[in-house]
Structures are given as C-alpha cells and as structure tokens.
Structure 1
Amino acid sequence: MPGRLFKSATSETRSTDDGYMTDELLEFCEPMVRAGIPLIVTGDLYVSPRSKSAGRQVGIDDDKKAGLRDWVDLARAGGSLGTSSLPALVLRAAGRGATADSDWPLLPGR
C-alpha cells in the first residue's frame, strides 16, 4: 500500500434510522479518499436488524446493498495521489451488545 495511514473501524452512526446509506456518510469518507488513504475500514454493518448495536448503523440486509455500492465506488474513485482506497467492510453480529429491542442476540452460527 502506498500510504502508511488507514482509517480504522469506528461507529460512524451516519445512516438513516433504518440503516440506509446517506450522503452524510459518503461526505465523511470523501476527504480520506481524496487524501489517498489506502485502506478505509468501515464501522460495523449489521447483517440483520436484530444485530444492530447502535442507532443510525448501516445495514447490509435486504435492499440496502445498492447504497453500499456508492461507498465502494467512492473508495475506488481514487484520491489526489492517484491511488484508489481499499474499502474493508466490518460485518456485525452484536451478540450480547444487541439493542434492547432485539428478540434475542444474534450470534455467529445461530
């Protein structure tokens, strides 16, 4: 990788309330892409609404994948250094960190 910095996984909480990608989240990532950050690790993406661990968390369930394409396209567009960023998606199974409105904590293998 050409750079020595990367964006680590954080909880951005910039999606819509029901987990869709927003311009706010893309605008948050854009300066990192423009600066040539080679690796951008997303915050937790929930795989099921029952596995949400925070409000305004991005989901990867149902029809939300189209918005994720915008995220990947932004990263691949490259920055001022002429390099593309590599997006790394962090999938979340909240386990005991699931929100109180969950039927039961969603764990790997369940």
Structure 2
Amino acid sequence: MQCECGDGTNEQLKVEGDFSADPVWCAVCGANLELEELPVTAELKEELWQWMLRYGTWIDWENDAALPDAAEKASQHDAEGKELTRRLQQELGAAYTVQFSPSAAWNE
C-alpha cells in the first residue's frame, strides 16, 4: 500500500465514500489506496467495495440536487461506513489506525 507520505508507508488510514475511487485513503497525505492491497479478508474488501458503490444514492443526478430523503440515506450510508471502519480496524490490528470520514455535507 503505497501513498505519497515521506517514506511511502501509511499506518493511518481513512474510510471515505467517493465516486470512482477505492474507499480507503491515507489519512495523512490523502492518497487513495488500492483496496486489493489491504491485508484483510476478501469478504471485508467486497463489503467495502459494495458500500462505496452505494455512495451518492441520495443524489438526483439528472437535476444535480439532493433527493427528498437525502439526509436519511446519507446517514444510513455513514452508519454502514462506521461499522465497516470498525471491522477494518479489527482486521488490520494495532499496526494501523483507521478513522471514518462521514458524508457530513448531506446530513445538514
């Protein structure tokens, strides 16, 4: 897992939903990390990937606007992300610190 930090290591990770990007980032330099390179189970990788694919389901893309239930959908997505972050931290162990970045802009 290479990032752009000084020595290329990244013990500080962040789980964050985004479009067309893997859901794990270096929490220091912000580099997007390859999900497949994480030393965790294939099951957790798949769940993280599926969670990422659901990012933005609260947006009406045709009208570039939030759907009426955007806050609720974003909140549910964040709850799932928090649980996946907890599991990722558990599987990675003490060698890593994993934080979660919520979809705060949609929960306002």
Common fold: TM-score over 0.5: no
Q: TM-score normalized by structure 2?
A: 0.32
Structure number having the greater helix percentage: 2
